[in-house]
Amino acid sequence: RLEALGATVSAEFRSGVWVKDRGPARPDGSGGEVTRFVNVGSLQPDQTIRSLRIYEFDADYRLSSIRVAQQARYQGHQSWELDDVTETHFIEFPRKAGAAAP
């Protein structure tokens, strides 16, 4: 189903299944387009996901956030409930005049 929606799926990793997805930053379509790499550690028989990681990149492919959830459950209508979540946001600091790019 993910491939039919245009996502790229890879399952050849010890860390689980990886999915690449592009879409709006927010559910309402605002915030510009982002690229997400989603790592599913394992899918349980009750269709919950264990060890979910979501890496989100902005339009310039700079890492903007990481979400790590111990568990996730599909709620229907393209909605997921994440449990025990740690979310990290990265901000870009303006460069000082004359400073070299890294």
The stretch 50-77 carries a mean pLDDT of 94
Confidence of residue 3 (pLDDT cuts 50, 70, 90): very low
Distance CA 53, CA 5 (A): 20
Considering Cα of 24, then 25, then 28, then 32, what sign does the dihedral take? negative
Who wins on pLDDT, 98 or 87? 87
Hey, how many other C-beta atoms are within 10 angstroms of the C-beta on 85? 13
The arithmetic mean of pLDDT across residues 30-47, rounded, is 88
- For the chain, the domains span 8-88
Rounded mean pLDDT, 11-20: 77
User: pTM for the whole thing?
Assistant: 0.75
